Amino acid sequence: MNLDRIIKNKKTGKVLTNQIMSKYTTFNVGGKVDYIVYPKSVEKLIELIKILRSEKIKYKILGNGSNTVFNDEDYNGVIIKLDEFNDLHIKDTIIKVGSGYNLMILAHKLSRMGLTGIEFATGIPGTVGGAIYMNAGAYKSDMGYIVSEIKVLTPELEIKTLYNSDLDFHYRTSFLQENPGYICIEVTIVLKHGNKDIIMDLIEERRKKRLMTQPLEFPSCGSVFRNPPNDFAGRLIEECGLKGYKIGGAMVSPKHANFIINYENATGKDVRDLILYVKDEVKKKFDIELLIEQEFINWE
């Protein structure tokens, strides 16, 4: 079928064909994808999913690609990006924001307004929806502390509100991660008033620390593994002598052992193989099963 023609006739939104996924992921890896579609509304998203389901075409909702490892093989399906879901409404300390809004931009914007509680997110790449899915966090805080409710599209393509108590937020996981058929479309965040100067000083202090301790000059997905209880994944990996270890163009960062970097034109296979190798080595040495934060896509 000519999906391109059908989608354009339906005026779904912007359609890109024959794209390379390495342009859309922070690891800069991945093969060709048939279509990337940017639905311009929830109604158009529903319409698109109905078409894809009826034609049995696989699809994947993708945020900023900041926690994904794509295969180098072609993805024969549709990547759906919700970048057009970017409305932002601020009323005192209550923020309603579309799931496609950039999390770092949002965190900086709100912090500059003197709103406190979202400072932890100023260094986290990704979209707001992706951050809910992963329960993204840093500095002993995460989305679960500031999100009051979200609107989702259910697997039955109905719009429903889920409240904080429904979302089962825990360390780097949420209801959405355990129920991937649900699609986050809007988020309500509640913050507090704070001292703008103190907030911005804290953000700047943390930014400088990240520059010194994290390999931000290379493509990566941030921390690869969740920290096990009462320990740090980076410490365990370093104790295995894996800092600087390479597979192909992928490397365990010499600066921070819980970062794997695209050091020199790494493939998706290089990155995935290195992640799994590190996981196995830590298991062998410490009998600790590290949990991977990244999602492997198109490896079936």
Q: What is the pLDDT of residues 9-24, one digit of tens each?
A: 778 899 999 999 999 9
Amino acid, res. 190: V
Do 14 and 95 share a domain, yes or no? no
CB 227 within 8 A of CB 297: no
Quote the pLDDT of residue 2. 66
**What residue ranges in the chain does DSSP mark as E strands?**
13-20, 32-39, 59-62, 68-70, 75-81, 88-91, 94-98, 115-116, 137-138, 141-142, 147-153, 159-163, 183-190, 192-193, 220-223, 246-247, 250-252, 259-262, 295-297
Q: Which residues does 180 contact at the CB level (< 8 Å), separation at least 6?
A: none
Do 163 and 74 share a domain, yes or no? no
Q: What is the mean pLDDT of residues 221-248?
A: 97
Amino acid, res. 168: D
Q: Which residues does 23 contact at the CB level (< 8 Å), separation at least 6?
A: none
Quote the pLDDT of residue 83. 97
Quote the pLDDT of residue 249. 98
Q: Which of 139, 166, 197 is a domain's end point?
A: 197
Distance between CA 297 and CA 102 in Å, rounded? 22
Do 71 and 103 share a domain, yes or no? no
Do 170 and 185 share a domain, yes or no? yes
Q: Which residues does 175 contact at the CB level (< 8 Å), separation at least 6?
A: 162, 166, 167, 168, 169, 182
pLDDT category of residue 300 using cuts at 50, 70 and 90: confident
Q: Which residues form the domain of 182?
A: 88-197
Residue 265 lies in a domain: yes
Amino acid, res. 35: Y
Quote the pLDDT of residue 3. 72
Give the number of other CB atoms < 10 A from CB of residue 90.
Answer: 15
Amino acid, res. 163: Y
* Token pair in block for residue 95: 């923020």
CATH code for position 59:
3.30.43.10
The answer, yes or no, to whether residue 27 has pLDDT greater than 80, is yes
Residue 208 lies in a domain: no
Which positions are catalytic? Answer: 172, 223, 293
Q: What is the mean pLDDT of residues 159-183?
A: 96
Residue 262 lies in a domain: yes
Q: What is the mean pLDDT of residues 264-279?
A: 98
Tens digit of pLDDT for each residue in 35-84?
999 999 999 999 999 999 998 999 999 999 999 999 999 999 999 999 99
Instruction: Enter the pTM of the model.
Output: 0.94
Quote the pLDDT of residue 253. 98
Q: Which residues does 192 contact at the CB level (< 8 Å), separation at least 6?
A: 93, 115, 116, 117
